Chains A and B, each alone.
Chain A
Amino acid sequence: MIGINDFLTLITALLIAWSCSLLGCFLVLRKVVMVGDAISHSVLPGIVIAYLVSSNFNSGFILIGAAVFGVFTTFIIDFLHKKLKLQEDASIGITFTWLFALGVILIALFTDGNADLDQDCVLFGELGITFLDKIIIDGRLYGTRSMWMILPVFILVLLFVVFGFKGLQIISFHEEFAQSKGINVSFWHYVFMALVSITTVMSFESVGAILVVGLLVIPPATAYLLNDKLIPMLWISCLFSSIACVTGYYASIYFDVSVSSMIIVVAGCFFLLAILYSKLSRKKMEIIDEKAF
């Protein structure tokens, strides 16, 4: 039985999950998942600053703050790694921890225990209560605020993937080749990372900093194990994240636990099954190979 609140929560969850799954496929293929992980943490100071400037979550400030800090993170990582010759893993680790720490310090210094912005919501988000913030005009229900925040992001991601498909494909599979064809790889890289940070920020309130990474990486990784062609991978990834959202949502109600965490746990179960499947099918292939000889 689907109630109106379930429906609204699920729509929000699905929009977040689809945006993340689409972008995540390219993160996985380009092997820059940890940069995405870093961005999801280091947009925190951007959010806090935008929040302090505009004193609410609705304004375009947050989008701009997020995009700026996302690109800034990517830039610092590259700067530490390439200019200051620090090894890459350390560059990533130092950058995101520092920016996250900066965000927490800003929260503690300036928000005075404001309930809208605390560490709990930063880490976990509260998908389960997003339906409380309904938009009702003239007695008619027009969805929830979270839903209207993530919808434009989803459309943006979708447009980017559809219209930038050729470019994304070529930089995901063969960066050097793209460069030699005169494609501006670093432009695509930064635009892509800006989009990752916008998505992260818009899903922040609902699923939190750590779990949004789960949606960015687990469904695409699952899809990649099952199929390594790009277009099927995108579809499979969206399909798995949708199933994970619906199953996770009802499971969380059943066990009475946090919704977003449960969605990730369900997605993780799918991932385990995918590993099992890819192992088995490889064994089968080996048996066929042996028989052929």
Chain B
Amino acid sequence: MMEVLTYFFTDPIAQKVILGVAVIGGISGVVGTFSFLRKKTLIADAISHSVLPGVCIGFMFAGTKDPLSLMIGALVIGWFSVWSIDYISRATKLSEDTAIALVSTLFFAKGSVLLSIISKSQNAEQSGLKNFLFGKAATMTSVDIQVFIIASLVILSLVILFFKPFQLLCFNSEFAKTIGIKTKRIEFLLSSLTVLTVAIGIQAVGVVLMSALLIAPAASARYWTNKLPLMLVIAAIFGIISGILGVVFSTVKDNMPTGPWIVFSLFLFTLITLIFAPQKGWLSIRKRTKTNSRKIGEENILKTMYQLKEQGLEIVSFRDFLEKRAMDTSILYLFFKKLVKSGFLIENENHFSLTKIGETEAARIIRSHRLWELYLTKRMNFKDDHIHGTAETIEHLITPEIEKELLKELDFPTSDPHNKDIPY
């Protein structure tokens, strides 16, 4: 393993590949974040397909594989594809996803027709054009990498310069319009940046996989933070690391394409993120749901115990409890055990009663429930037979602060709409 690593960081060719891929990964992460937030990531797919005819046209005009003219061709046609999608989904009754699929496949077909025309012309320079289809990370030249770095610096400085309008466009384009930002122009700029990114990135991973470079880092970053600047940084880092990992993975066998391995590591990142991310990840959502449902279950039991006590039944057997509130017996048993353990209930030969703190807690829940019912009838003009349902839900959510507000609002009432006492 160490040998592999030292090889990568000392061998000049490997260094070059890694540098190139890292630059591409980073800049795709940054630009992709904006596409992701605007929910326009699939347009990137159409752009990358239309880079093929763009490159072919650039080549036909220049007659050589000069990176600059290829890139200009890609930019022009890429932009034309964005415009076509916009036009089709605006001016016809076709939906946007139809427009995207239509434009991408149509442009790709044109590109492949042009490619077969070029490959029949006797131009010796044309051999490398197909690299745009599948990527050629392993054979990047120093000139390529210089072009990548310059383009990335241009993109990065534009992002910094136009950060505010971009941010507004992503989160609230209507608002941006009202404060006088020319949203059409900003959108044009943002699309152009995407096209430029695709035009350079496609050389590393190829037509089909380019959209992964734009989508995956941004999608992952979104799960780690809510702040745009931080999100851009995280997406860039994900892009860079996946790029490097892709290069490392692809050395397992000779002639292995780099692009798919980059996408593969991107996917791993995304999957890990989707499952493990704090707050938004699958695990933490599951955990939260579990905690919540346990809390609600426990609170419902305490509440029922309190109601039984109000009816004069202080020492409660399972049977008494189930008569008041139907539940799965085994779950009820577990809940009782837990409540005893945390000191809310005491058990005496399968009979249960509320402890002091148990009673205070139960009173708090009942109080929230009855206050809310009262609030609904007094302030919201609900009929008193329509209020129990919502109160049943909200009693678990009312915080001490809200409770204080309710008490003040209702002027410290003593009984609820059903003439039951509100306990303090």
CA distance A28 to B257 in the complex (A): 34
Contact of B42 with A34 in the complex, beta carbons under 8 Å: yes
Contact of A265 with B94 in the complex, beta carbons under 8 Å: no
For B256, give the chain A residue with the smallest CB separation.
Answer: A108
For A274, give the chain B residue with the smallest CB separation.
Answer: B92
CA distance A28 to B253 in the complex (A): 42
B413 to chain A, nearest CB (A): 41
CA distance A244 to B116 in the complex (A): 19
A217 within 8 A of B: yes
CA distance A41 to B88 in the complex (A): 24
B211 within 8 A of A: yes
Residues 210-224 (chain A) with a chain B CB within 8 angstroms: 210-211, 213-214, 216-218, 221, 224
Contact of A257 with B209 in the complex, beta carbons under 8 Å: no
CA distance A101 to B209 in the complex (A): 7
Q: What are the residues of chain A within 8 A of B266 when measuring CB–CB?
A: 98
B260 within 8 A of A: yes
A137 to chain B, nearest CB (A): 34
A94 within 8 A of B: yes
B167 to chain A, nearest CB (A): 18
Q: Tell me which of A49-57, A78-86, A178-186 binds B.
A: A78-86
Q: Which of B215, B253, B261, B282 contacts A93 (CB 8 A)?
A: B215
Residues 198-243 (chain B) with a chain A CB within 8 angstroms: 207-209, 211-212, 214-216, 218-219
Interface string of A257-291 (1 = CB under 8 A from B): 11011101101100100010011000000000000
A225 within 8 A of B: yes
Q: What are the residues of chain B within 8 A of A267 when measuring CB–CB?
A: 106
A286 to chain B, nearest CB (A): 14
A46 within 8 A of B: no
Q: What are the residues of chain A within 8 A of B207 when measuring CB–CB?
A: 123
B113 to chain A, nearest CB (A): 5
For A216, give the chain B residue with the smallest CB separation.
Answer: B101
B184 within 8 A of A: no
Contacts A31-B97, A257-B117; is A101 near B267 (CB within 8 Å)? yes
Contact of B120 with A256 in the complex, beta carbons under 8 Å: yes
B110 within 8 A of A: yes
Interface string of B258-274 (1 = CB under 8 A from A): 01110110110010001
Contact of A89 with B40 in the complex, beta carbons under 8 Å: yes
B154 to chain A, nearest CB (A): 25
Residues 90-125 (chain B) with a chain A CB within 8 angstroms: 91-95, 97-98, 100-102, 104-106, 108-110, 112-113, 116-117, 120
CA distance A84 to B281 in the complex (A): 7
Residues 248-298 (chain B) with a chain A CB within 8 angstroms: 253, 255-257, 259-261, 263-264, 266-267, 270, 274-275, 280, 282, 285
Contact of A92 with B42 in the complex, beta carbons under 8 Å: yes
For B262, give the chain A residue with the smallest CB separation.
Answer: A101
Name which of B97, B101, B259 has the most chain A CB atoms within 10 A of its CB: B101
A121 within 8 A of B: no
Residues 40-95 (chain A) with a chain B CB within 8 angstroms: 41, 80, 83-87, 89-90, 92-94
B59 to chain A, nearest CB (A): 16
B134 within 8 A of A: yes
A119 within 8 A of B: yes
Q: What are the residues of chain B within 8 A of A83 when measuring CB–CB?
A: 282
Name which of B42, B108, B260 has the most chain A CB atoms within 10 A of its CB: B260
A149 within 8 A of B: no
Contacts A31-B97, A105-B261, A264-B105; is A257 near B113 (CB within 8 Å)? yes
Contact of B112 with A124 in the complex, beta carbons under 8 Å: yes
For B38, give the chain A residue with the smallest CB separation.
Answer: A89
Secondary structure class of chain A's binding surface, majority of residues: helix
Name which of B112, B219, B263, B280 has the most chain A CB atoms within 10 A of its CB: B112
A293 within 8 A of B: no
Q: What are the residues of chain A within 8 A of B285 when measuring CB–CB?
A: 85
State the interface size on chain B (CB cutoff 8 A): 59
Q: What are the residues of chain A within 8 A of B274 when measuring CB–CB?
A: 80, 84, 86
Give the interface size bracket for A toward B: 35 or more
A205 within 8 A of B: no
For B212, give the chain A residue with the smallest CB separation.
Answer: A97
Contact of B280 with A94 in the complex, beta carbons under 8 Å: no
A143 within 8 A of B: no
Contact of B215 with A210 in the complex, beta carbons under 8 Å: no
Interface string of A223-238 (1 = CB under 8 A from B): 0110010000000000
Contacts A31-B95, A275-B88, A278-B92; is A258 near B101 (CB within 8 Å)? no
Contacts A265-B110, A279-B91; is A85 near B97 (CB within 8 Å)? no
Residues 88-139 (chain A) with a chain B CB within 8 angstroms: 89-90, 92-94, 97-98, 100-102, 104-105, 108-109, 113, 119, 123-124
For A86, give the chain B residue with the smallest CB separation.
Answer: B219
Q: What are the residues of chain A within 8 A of B280 when measuring CB–CB?
A: 85
Contact of A221 with B102 in the complex, beta carbons under 8 Å: yes
CA distance A89 to B35 in the complex (A): 10
CA distance A214 to B101 in the complex (A): 8
A191 within 8 A of B: no
A123 to chain B, nearest CB (A): 7
A38 to chain B, nearest CB (A): 9
B372 within 8 A of A: no
Contacts A90-B36, A97-B263, A104-B257; is A31 near B98 (CB within 8 Å)? yes
19 chain-A/chain-B pairs, Cβ below 8 angstroms: A86-B274, A89-B215, A93-B212, A94-B212, A94-B219, A97-B215, A98-B267, A104-B260, A105-B260, A105-B261, A108-B256, A119-B257, A123-B133, A210-B104, A211-B105, A211-B108, A224-B93, A257-B116, A271-B102
7 tightest A-B contacts by CB? A97-B212, A264-B109, A101-B260, A214-B105, A101-B263, A261-B112, A98-B267
**Chain A residues packing against B (C-beta within 8 Å):** 28, 31-34, 36-37, 41, 80, 83-87, 89-90, 92-94, 97-98, 100-102, 104-105, 108-109, 113, 119, 123-124, 209-211, 213-214, 216-218, 221, 224-225, 228, 255-258, 260-262, 264-265, 267-268, 271, 275, 278-279
**Chain B residues packing against A (C-beta within 8 Å):** 36, 39-42, 44-45, 49, 88, 91-95, 97-98, 100-102, 104-106, 108-110, 112-113, 116-117, 120, 133-134, 207-209, 211-212, 214-216, 218-219, 253, 255-257, 259-261, 263-264, 266-267, 270, 274-275, 280, 282, 285
Beyond contacts A34-B100, A93-B212: 4 other A-B pairs, Cβ-Cβ < 8 A, are: A89-B40, A98-B264, A209-B208, A278-B92
